A and B are shown apart, each in its own frame.
Chain A
């Protein structure tokens, strides 16, 4: 399967703990995105990378959140000192944008539950 893969699919943690999610994009895609989705809502943009450069971050991305894409391939999203409000589905997507109609390919998401 050459789609976007995310790990873990589910994570349950206690408030105050740190968690890390990994995303492996489609190999030929230069752009990688992180979104957060809560129940009944559309995905909310968090940040995106072009190759290894982080080009944009949403104001939703507090200083407890950090994302990396060190070699321009896989990416990690770390949440420090988790809070109950961080409970959500974290979606990763990749794309190869050559024009304004670029398609995003999404992974199945990592569902975080903070107790």
Chain B
């Protein structure tokens, strides 16, 4: 079973700061998804990355997929209090196309 490691586990920053969170694996990802989960709600998809070296931007969020497709990062510029939440990376496991395995997540708190 592929293990997804996310770091840091917790991150507390002030509004306006930049941050980066990471997702790493011991194996090559077929594709990787990033989700955000707010308290009391289910995760919501932010982005899917497929190609090694791929960079995707979603407003102030920048997602990178490593060249070897074994790691990914999420960078947030000028964080806002609304960015607070649990950031999860997930990967399709075992070629069954849809059985997503999640990392433990990075819990981000952005303070005003």
Which residues of A are interface residues toward B (Cβ below 8 A)?
Answer: 4, 31, 33, 35, 40-45, 48, 55-56, 91, 93, 95, 97, 99-109
Whole-angstrom distance between the Cβ of B1 and the nearest chain A Cβ: 10
The interface bits of chain B over 72-112 (1 if a CB of A lies within 8 angstroms of the residue's CB, else 0) are 00000000000000101010110011111111110100000
Whole-angstrom distance between the Cβ of A101 and the nearest chain B Cβ: 5
Given A42-B88, A45-B99, A48-B99, CB of A100 within 8 Å of CB of B30: yes
Interface size on B, residues (CB 8 A): 28
Q: Enumerate chain B residues within 8 angstroms of A97, measured Cβ to Cβ.
A: 97-98
Among residues 47 to 83 in chain B, which have CB atoms less than 8 Å away from a CB atom of chain A? Answer: 48, 50
Q: Enumerate chain A residues within 8 angstroms of B86, measured Cβ to Cβ.
A: 42
Q: Enumerate chain B residues within 8 angstroms of A95, measured Cβ to Cβ.
A: 98
Q: Enumerate chain B residues within 8 angstroms of A43, measured Cβ to Cβ.
A: 43, 88, 102
Which residues of B are interface residues toward A (Cβ below 8 A)?
Answer: 6, 30-31, 33, 40-45, 48, 50, 86, 88, 90, 92-93, 96-105, 107
Task: Using CB atoms, name the residue of chain A closest to B40.
Answer: A108
Whole-angstrom distance between the Cβ of B71 and the nearest chain A Cβ: 17
Given A41-B104, A45-B99, A97-B98, CB of A103 within 8 Å of CB of B33: yes
Most chain A CB neighbours (cut-off 10 Å) among B41, B42, B48, B104: B42
Whole-angstrom distance between the Cβ of A57 and the nearest chain B Cβ: 11
Complex Cα distance A102/B6, Å? 21
Residue pair B105, A41 in contact (C-beta under 8 Å) = yes
Task: Using CB atoms, name the residue of chain A closest to B45.
Answer: A103
Residue pair A55, B88 in contact (C-beta under 8 Å) = no
Residue pair B100, A100 in contact (C-beta under 8 Å) = no
Q: Which of B88, B92, B107 is in CB contact (< 8 Å) with A100?
A: B92
Whole-angstrom distance between the Cβ of A59 and the nearest chain B Cβ: 10
Q: Can you report 14 A-B residue pairs in the complex whose CB atoms are below 8 A from each other?
A: A31-B98, A33-B98, A33-B100, A40-B104, A42-B104, A43-B102, A45-B100, A48-B98, A56-B96, A56-B99, A91-B42, A95-B98, A100-B30, A109-B41
